[in-house]
Amino acid sequence: MTNTAAEIRSVVVEREIAYPPEKIWRALTQPHLIEEWLMKSDFKPVVGHHFNLRGDWGTVDCQVQAVEPNKTLSYTWDALGLKSVVTWTLTPTSTGTHLRMEQSGFRQDQQQAYQGAQYGWQRFFATLEQILARLD
């Protein structure tokens, strides 16, 4: 089975956040913080590390693909028939950080997963920003 670029879609969420990349990186990579804005996890920022994200609806199987501290983080996201990749990009700005998240790999027949991700990531980002506001 071959996939063309037209058949694969991505969910992208971007925000300007008034904190330095180092602070956001902590929230993206420390399990106790990940639990507060995303799900429970046994994440480690080590390429090749297998980890799970656990929500009340089920589990996401993941594997770290890329780690460039304070710049890029990428991991697979395998849940409910969806095999995708989540990539975080942190770019310093004059007022903080431009944070971009892309979840790629949605097939055309995965409309429900695609719409769920669009909704879910907006909520996750809102919670992430609340966590950042109270982090030292």
| pLDDT tens figures, 25-36 | 999 999 999 999
What ranges do the domains of the chain cover?
Answer: 9-134
Look at the pTM and tell me if it is higher than 0.85.
Answer: yes
The pLDDT mean for the chain works out to 94
Task: List the one residue out of 13, 12, 10 whose CA is nearest residue 126.
Answer: 13
Integer Cα distance of 9 and 105 in angstroms = 6
Tokens of 47: 């390429």
**Does residue 5 carry a pLDDT above 60?**
no
Integer Cα distance of 44 and 51 in angstroms = 8
Residues 6+ apart with CB under 8 A from 96: 16, 17, 18, 19, 20
Highest CATH level, class, for 9-134: alpha beta
- pLDDT computed for residue 1 by the predictor: 43
Indicate the DSSP class of residue 19: S
Residues 65-104 have pLDDT tens digits of: 999 999 999 999 999 889 999 999 999 999 999 999 999 9
